[in-house]
Amino acid sequence: MFARIIPMVIKEFLQLRRDKAARFLLVVPPILQMLLFGYAATFEVYHVSTAVLDLDHSQESRDLIARFTSNGRFNVMKLARSQRGIDKAIDSSEATVAIVVHAGFAELLRKGQGAPLQVIVDGTNSNTALIALGYINTIAAGFAQDYVTDLMQRVGQETRPLQVTLEQWPWFNPDLNGRWFFVPGVIGTLTLVLIVNLTAFAIVREREVGTLEQIMVSPIRPAEFILGKTVPFFLVGLGEVALVVAVGLLWFRIPFVGNPFVLLFGTALFLLSSLAVGLLISTVCSTQQQAFSTNFFILSPFFILSGFAFPIASMPQVLQWFTFVNPLRYYLVVIRATLLKGVGIDVLWPDFVAMAILALLLLTLSILRFRKTLE
Amino acid sequence: MTAPVAADAQVDAQVVVENLVKRFGDFVAVDHASFRIGHGEIMGFLGPNGAGKSTIIRILCGLLRPSAGRVSVAGIDVARDPELVRQRIGYMSQKFSLYRDLTVEENLRFFGGIYRVPRGELAERMRFAIDMAGLGGREKTLVGTLAGGWQQRLALGCAVLHRPPILFLDEPTSGVEPKSRRRFWDLIHALAADGVTVLVSTHYMDEAEYCHRAALINQGRIIATGSPDALKHTALGGELLLIECEALGPALAALRQQAPGVIDASVFGNAIHVLVRDADRGIDELPAYLERRALPPIRIERINPSLEDVFVQLIAADAAKRRQAA
């Protein structure tokens, strides 16, 4: 039935072996990108450039400011001497955050009243701004707590003020290390981009070179041709995933607490569905230029609407529906869950089923789209 | 089988085309073409680039769908069962279409696999193709590095790997040096001698001499079909004289005006080819006619028409007929 797949697979591997550029592109850029993106993709906020204006010049104000300068989250770039200096620092993006301690800050504290602290944040990047505000809140609250405790001790009051303390113990990632979240995402995204790019040109190139015409007049069946293109890229994809996962585990020290076979199974389904996307592009396009543009058009939404960075649950309903046809969406769940949580198929089966359906649907579509005519 | 093919004169016609029309939008690429090719026959398609030769061949291979008309290959309706047809044909496209990044051997093995040449036969068939192409000792050479003539012969070898009874060759000798072209035609003849039916297109007029029959194609229409000899002697509708003259232009004009017995005249190189109703009468009367106009001929003689003469003449006649119809 499918006897012609074997010569197709042999041919594809021979061509790959001869293609020095492709061999390089399959190994070096994925490792480099993995290293780069592993560091770059993070929501954590460090070294926020900060400007400070102290109009109180009290021991209290100096103490508070010291808590910012000594904290790795903030980089105090500028000690302003007037409100104008603060405005300039924010306008010119010299500082993202400005902290102003107004005159009378210490006096209000000593009276036991609440003392306002002015914070100006450049909200252009709302995410950084929100996170920075959170840190500022924590620092200010810590300062207030210490001040009150200190005051009470000095006044000689024995009874401590009532406190509610939060005992944090986040599961699966106790240190809330952002890299643990992002590196698996980078693995999935890199694999998707690589596989779709590889397969999208697989048929178009033969069409452009003219070899496809020779294939078309042969008695090969569309299914044999498409599957003959699928198998080699599937094997190449498995190698790719092994490579980038190795970088994630060995270099970024991402834990792998789950079952490797669950990940392998999920990866297989993910590869099949992604290369089906590429092959479909390749059967629809008539030139490599078209395939290139189509790739770009398809891959960007796949990336944004995958849950790589932006939670799918927060997206408008319509976009959430779109994510259902996105193989990356399911794979990110699978790879994060197997690496970090160690859950099995009993939990992940809906994602497995979804990827299997996508792969089947898209491959069938490619086979139906592949016509053995030039029209 | 009740197909009308059996009732026809050419009982063993391997290719039957009747009233074939192919339109691309408003453009008519093939205009009511009809022809047959018999078993073991070499049929040549002659015509300028864009005449519709490739389109007809692609339709015969099932690569393009006809807009109208009937096409059958090896007794199979191409529109109905293109896959069955594909098992019986070998095809060489106009553009070289083997894998340049595979070796001679790898290409042959790949196409052998695609055509499901039985394992036991494959080695022998590959040997045959390699010997035929004269590529012995170069089995491990990348095809992309071979010279044009070798590439074309290898492509032919690939096309016959599965022993197809019918071969469609689309301009197989274009861009190949004359010596290699000659050798390629020898291969075609050897295959035809084994009973393979061959349809081969070319824009080299001289190559038509190698065909059993040739069809002249212009603007999508088959304007003449016949053996090279028949085309030269009957398709012209007259006999051909060669006249050499000092002033070619005025002489051509004079011959086209009211010269006795002249059907048409055209310039060929530094002489004029004159189509006359009767060659002997032309040789008698035309020198006097030209001398009266102060255009004495240097030389006048009867010549055997080349296919190029026939083709030029037929295209002109066809154009005139169309103008009249319009």
Model confidence at B4, pLDDT cuts 50, 70, 90, reads: very low
Interval A159-173 mean pLDDT: 70
Q: Which residue of A has its CA nearest to B162?
A: A218
| Digit-coded pLDDT (tens) for A102-123 | 999 989 888 878 888 999 999 8
Q: Which residue of A has its CA nearest to B95?
A: A210
Residues B172 and B179 sit within 8 Å (Cβ to Cβ): no
Contact B114 A14 (CB under 8 A): no
Q: Give contacts of A374 with chain B, Cβ < 8 Å.
A: 58, 63-64
Contact A15 B63 (CB under 8 A): no
Percent of chain A with pLDDT over 70: 97
Q: CA triplet A160, A166, A169: central angle to 5 degrees?
A: 145
Q: How far apart are the C-alpha atoms of B195 and B184, rounded to whole Å?
A: 17
- Plot region of A226 (φ>0 → left; ψ -120 to 50 → alpha; else → beta): alpha
Q: Alpha helix locations (H) across B247-326?
A: 248-256, 279-292, 307-325
Range scoring the smallest mean pLDDT among A34-38, A169-173, B113-117, B194-198: A169-173
The set of residues, in sequence order, having a beta carbon less than 8 Å from that of A220 and lying 6+ positions away, is: A4, A8, B114
A190-218 b/e with 16+ CB inside 10 Å = b? bbbbbbbbbbbbbbbbbbebebbbbbbbb
pLDDT at A160: 61
Residue A320's alpha-carbon distances to A22, A189, A220, A269, A305, in angstroms, are: 35, 18, 40, 21, 8
Burial of B257 from C-beta contacts in 10 A (0-12 / 13-18 / 19+): exposed
Contact A211 B98 (CB under 8 A): yes
Range scoring the smallest mean pLDDT among A225-234, A334-343, B143-152, B253-262: B253-262
| Digit-coded pLDDT (tens) for B27-79 | 999 999 999 999 999 999 998 888 999 999 999 999 999 999 999 999 999 99
Q: Give contacts of A215 with chain B, Cβ < 8 Å.
A: 114
Q: How far apart are the C-alpha atoms of A331 and B132, rounded to whole Å?
A: 53
pLDDT at B6: 36
Residues A72 and A47 sit within 8 Å (Cβ to Cβ): yes
In the predicted model, is pLDDT for residue B1 greater than 50?
no
Q: Give contacts of A216 with chain B, Cβ < 8 Å.
A: 63
Q: Give contacts of B110 with chain A, Cβ < 8 Å.
A: 7, 10-11
Nearest to B58 among A15, A214, A374 (CB): A374
Contact B98 A10 (CB under 8 A): no
Residue A38's alpha-carbon distances to A48, A239, A263, A335, B149, in angstroms, are: 20, 19, 20, 15, 54
Q: Alpha helix locations (H) across chain A?
A: 5-18, 20-40, 59-69, 83-91, 105-110, 126-155, 178-209, 211-216, 222-250, 260-284, 288-304, 317-322, 327-336, 345-369
pLDDT at A11: 96
Number of neighbours of residue B71 by Cβ within 10 angstroms: 22
pLDDT at A152: 80
pLDDT at B8: 40
Contact B102 A15 (CB under 8 A): yes
Which residue of B91, B101, B115 to mutate against A (max A Cβ within 10 Å)? B101
Contact A211 B97 (CB under 8 A): yes
Q: Hey, what domains does chain B have and what are their CATH numbers?
A: 13-226 (3.40.50.300), 237-304 (3.30.70.100)
Residues A374 and B57 sit within 8 Å (Cβ to Cβ): no
Q: For chain B, percent helix, then strand, then coil, each to nearest 5?
A: 40, 30, 30
Which residue of B71, B99, B119 to mutate against A (max A Cβ within 10 Å)? B99
Contact B115 A215 (CB under 8 A): no
Model confidence at A161, pLDDT cuts 50, 70, 90, reads: low
Q: How far apart are the C-alpha atoms of B271 and B246, rounded to whole Å?
A: 9
Residues A269 and A234 sit within 8 Å (Cβ to Cβ): no
Nearest to B97 among A11, A213, A374 (CB): A213
| pLDDT, mean over chain B | 90
Contact A4 B113 (CB under 8 A): yes
Range scoring the smallest mean pLDDT among A21-30, A150-159, B259-268: A150-159
In the predicted model, is pLDDT for residue B80 greater than 60?
yes
pLDDT at B7: 37
Residues of chain A with CATH 3.40.1710.10: 48-154
| Interface predicted TM-score (ipTM) of this complex, two decimals | 0.83
CA atoms within 13 A on the CB side of B312: 14
Q: How far apart are the C-alpha atoms of B247 and B47, rounded to whole Å?
A: 31
Q: Tell me whether A368 touches chain B (CB under 8 Å).
A: no
pLDDT at B11: 55
Distance, first Cα to last Cα, chain B: 43
Q: How far does the CA of residue B252 sit from the closest CA of chain A (Å)? A: 46
SS3 A111: coil
Of the candidates A35, A26, A22, the residue with the CA atom closest to the CA atom of residue A252: A35
Range scoring the smallest mean pLDDT among A139-153, A351-365, B134-148: A139-153
Stated length of chain B: 326
Model confidence at A159, pLDDT cuts 50, 70, 90, reads: low
pLDDT at A163: 65
Q: Which of A201-205, A234-238, B263-267, B311-315 has the highest mean pLDDT?
A: A234-238
Number of neighbours of residue A313 by Cβ within 10 angstroms: 7
Q: How far apart are the C-alpha atoms of B33 and B19, rounded to whole Å?
A: 5
In the predicted model, is pLDDT for residue A229 greater than 50?
yes
Q: Give contacts of A375 with chain B, Cβ < 8 Å.
A: 64-65
pLDDT at B2: 34
Residues B14 and B165 sit within 8 Å (Cβ to Cβ): yes
Interval A211-221 mean pLDDT: 93
Number of neighbours of residue A42 by Cβ within 10 angstroms: 16
Percent of chain A with pLDDT over 90: 61
Q: How far does the CA of residue A18 sit from the closest CA of chain B (Å)? A: 7
Its pTM stands at: 0.81
| pLDDT, mean over chain A | 90
Q: How far apart are the C-alpha atoms of A110 and A113, rounded to whole Å?
A: 7
Rg (CA), chain A: 28
Q: How far does the CA of residue B101 sit from the closest CA of chain A (Å)? A: 6
DSSP A225: H
Contact A220 B114 (CB under 8 A): yes
The A residues from 194 to 233 touching B (CB cutoff 8 Å) are 209-211, 213-220
Q: Alpha helix locations (H) across chain B?
A: 53-60, 82-88, 104-114, 119-133, 148-159, 178-193, 228-230, 248-256, 279-292, 307-325
SS3 A1: coil
| Digit-coded pLDDT (tens) for A275-330 | 999 999 999 998 999 999 999 999 999 999 998 888 898 899 999 999 999 999 99
Interval A46-61 mean pLDDT: 90
Q: Give contacts of A219 with chain B, Cβ < 8 Å.
A: 83, 86-87, 114-116
Domain boundaries A48-154, corresponding CATH code: 3.40.1710.10
State the count of interchain CB pairs (< 8 A) between A and B.
79
Number of neighbours of residue B267 by Cβ within 10 angstroms: 12
In the predicted model, is pLDDT for residue B247 greater than 80?
yes
Q: Which residue of A has its CA nearest to B66?
A: A375
Contact B116 A219 (CB under 8 A): yes
Contact A217 B64 (CB under 8 A): no
pLDDT at B269: 83
